[in-house]
């Protein structure tokens, strides 16, 4: 560990020189993992940490927030699951998003669906007031928000697994406005009677809510719990939030039509990534993992962190395949996620657009735009979420977040040597 003076600012800097090999790199300061107090040699509050490779070159600079998120800890060499070339891609594409839409902040998180290993973890701030950097919720482990349409597949998969619907079941979407329990639920367009396939493709609020009523409150709650909502993800952040996930006894009368479409339930980006890993890996809920291994202080050898087998979510073996087929529709012509389509690959994914909770009510001017998906859809190499908090110019996940998903995914597929299978025509889609 070296103490340096920054030539630009004159501030004291702490530089950590750590090994970097292949796709994994280690960090020497990772506090809070085991709860021990920081030793005297650990960086102090106000220090600027630059993570470097063995040559002293900065790597993964956006991971500086790890020092802030993993509070009180110790100096120990750790090896992360982060893949540095993919991390660089994610950071560069977030820069493009921030430049175009100037969100308060933006996240990109990529995970291996079979193991839960975090492959990339990027965060960027826009040019909003500088209190963003001071807020605890600027970290993806602490950032809780209503996910909006990202959770509609959970609702639909519950109904499919219970045998209550098929992909071709029809629901009346009431021409875009439906009164239920004294409240009006609206769609983005005046849809009439459409199938479950179309409900997913155009992201109908009304269609999804009517499917939820068939499932029932208790079974829907249990289904969402099985995806890990209301629970921590397994990541080593002492301050990780579990979100807001109320039991049915605490629901208001109309809540059974709002929670299934992602309103009134709050999650972190990590929780959504974990849930979609289950869709991508055949229906198992794996724990997310950021630490690939660490140096045994007794032997000096690197000890790998074993992956834990995930718990099975669905009762029926074919449920996961059915929901993946529906998720593919979002990135085809007429789907809300068409801007995430990648020529040569099938992409399974979902757009999300949600209002922010501000001063005790949902804001009419502040939104969160998201896209999450996995590719190739039938043999996924990764799950990726892109989230933009308060973007300017558009509020829709399909417009703000989907292009960044496409660009990060396309470059990552090339890096991993995943060959394209067939052409995909990207044309005009719906808003969501």
Q: Taking the mean position of all CA atoms in its chain, how far away is CA 121?
A: 10
Structural domain includes residue 295: no
Same domain assignment for residues 76 and 145: no
**Torsion angles phi and psi, residue 3, rounded to 5:** -100, 125
Same domain assignment for residues 149 and 9: no
**Torsion angles phi and psi, residue 353, rounded to 5:** -135, 120
Same domain assignment for residues 268 and 353: yes
Same domain assignment for residues 214 and 276: yes
243-279 CB burial, b ≥16 within 10 A, e <16: bebeeeeeeeebbbbbbbbbbbbbbbbbbbbbbbbbb
Same domain assignment for residues 158 and 248: yes
Same domain assignment for residues 18 and 107: no
Q: Which residue spans within 166-207 are E strands per DSSP?
A: 170-172, 177-180, 183-186, 193-195
Query: Which CATH number does the domain housing residue 129 bear?
Result: 3.40.710.10
Only one residue has tokens 């439906």, namely 178
Same domain assignment for residues 155 and 36: no
Same domain assignment for residues 150 and 41: no
Size of the chain in residues: 432
Structural domain includes residue 249: yes
pLDDT in tens, 348-376: 999 999 989 888 788 888 999 999 999 99
Structural domain includes residue 9: yes
8 Å CB contact between 187 and 180: no
What is the residue range of 66's domain? 2-80
Q: Which one of 80, 110, 141 terminates a domain? A: 80
Same domain assignment for residues 362 and 397: yes
Structural domain includes residue 36: yes
Same domain assignment for residues 23 and 57: yes
CA distance 48 to 292: 25
CA distance 66 to 84: 15
* Overall number of domains in the chain: 2
Same domain assignment for residues 54 and 101: no
Structural domain includes residue 155: yes
Structural domain includes residue 178: no
Structural domain includes residue 363: yes
List the pLDDT tens digit at each of the 432 positions of the chain.
Answer: 333 333 334 443 333 333 322 222 223 333 333 333 334 444 443 333 344 332 333 444 444 444 444 433 433 456 778 888 999 999 999 999 999 999 999 999 999 999 999 999 999 888 765 554 445 456 788 899 999 999 999 999 999 999 999 999 999 999 999 999 999 999 999 999 999 999 999 999 999 999 999 999 999 999 999 999 999 887 877 678 888 888 999 998 899 999 999 998 999 999 999 999 999 999 999 999 887 766 565 666 666 767 778 899 999 999 999 999 999 999 999 999 999 999 999 999 999 999 898 887 888 889 999 999 999 999 999 999 999 999 999 999 999 999 999 999 999 999 999 999 865 555 556 667
Same domain assignment for residues 62 and 159: no
Helix (H) or strand (E) holding 14: strand 12-17
* pTM score of the predicted model: 0.82
Please state whether 376 falls in left (phi above 0), alpha (psi between -120 and 50) or beta: beta
pLDDT in tens, 211-255: 999 999 999 999 999 999 999 887 877 678 888 888 999 998 899
Structural domain includes residue 432: no
């Amino acid at each position: 560990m070296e103490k340096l003076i920054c030539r630009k600012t004159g501030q004291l800097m702490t530089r950590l020189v750590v090994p970097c090999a292949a796709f994994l790199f280690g960090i020497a300061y990772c506090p809070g993992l085991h709860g021990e107090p920081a030793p005297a040699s650990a960086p102090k509050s106000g220090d600027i940490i630059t993570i470097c490779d063995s040559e002293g070159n900065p790597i993964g600079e956006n991971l500086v927030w790890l020092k802030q998120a993993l509070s009180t800890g110790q100096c120990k060499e750790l090896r992360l699951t982060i893949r540095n070339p993919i991390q660089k891609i994610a950071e560069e594409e977030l820069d493009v998003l921030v430049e175009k839409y100037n969100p308060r902040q933006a996240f990109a998180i990529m995970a291996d669906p079979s193991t839960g290993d975090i492959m990339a973890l990027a965060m960027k701030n826009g040019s909003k007031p500088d209190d963003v950097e001071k807020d605890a919720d600027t970290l993806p482990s602490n950032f809780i928000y209503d996910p909006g349409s990202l959770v509609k597949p959970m609702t639909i998969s519950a109904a499919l697994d219970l045998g209550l619907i098929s992909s071709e079941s029809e629901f009346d979407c009431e021409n875009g406005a439906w009164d239920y329990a004294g409240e009006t639920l609206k769609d983005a367009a005046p849809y009439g009677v459409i199938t479950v396939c179309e409900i997913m493709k155009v992201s109908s609020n009304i269609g999804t809510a009517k499917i939820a009523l068939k499932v029932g409150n208790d079974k829907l709650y249990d289904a969402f719990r099985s995806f890990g909502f209301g629970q921590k993800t397994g990541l080593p952040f002492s301050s990780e939030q579990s979100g807001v996930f109320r039991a049915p006894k605490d629901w208001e009368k109309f809540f059974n039509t709002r929670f299934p479409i992602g309103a009134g339930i709050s999650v972190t980006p990590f929780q959504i990534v974990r849930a979609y890993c289950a869709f991508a890996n055949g229906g198992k809920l794996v724990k997310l993992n950021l630490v690939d291994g660490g140096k045994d202080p007794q032997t000096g050898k690197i000890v790998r962190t074993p992956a834990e087998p995930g718990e099975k979510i669905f009762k029926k073996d074919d449920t996961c395949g059915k929901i993946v087929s529906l998720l593919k529709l979002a990135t085809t012509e007429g789907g809300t996620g068409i801007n995430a389509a990648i020529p040569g690959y099938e992409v399974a994914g979902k757009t999300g657009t949600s209002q922010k909770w501000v001063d005790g009510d949902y804001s009419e001017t502040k939104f969160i735009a998201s896209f999450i998906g996995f590719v190739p859809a039938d043999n996924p190499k990764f799950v990726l979420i892109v989230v933009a908090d308060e973007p300017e110019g558009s509020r829709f996940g399909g417009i703000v977040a989907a292009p960044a998903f496409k660009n990060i995914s396309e470059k990552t597929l090339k890096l991993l040597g995943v060959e394209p299978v067939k052409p995909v025509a990207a044309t005009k889609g719906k808003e969501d």
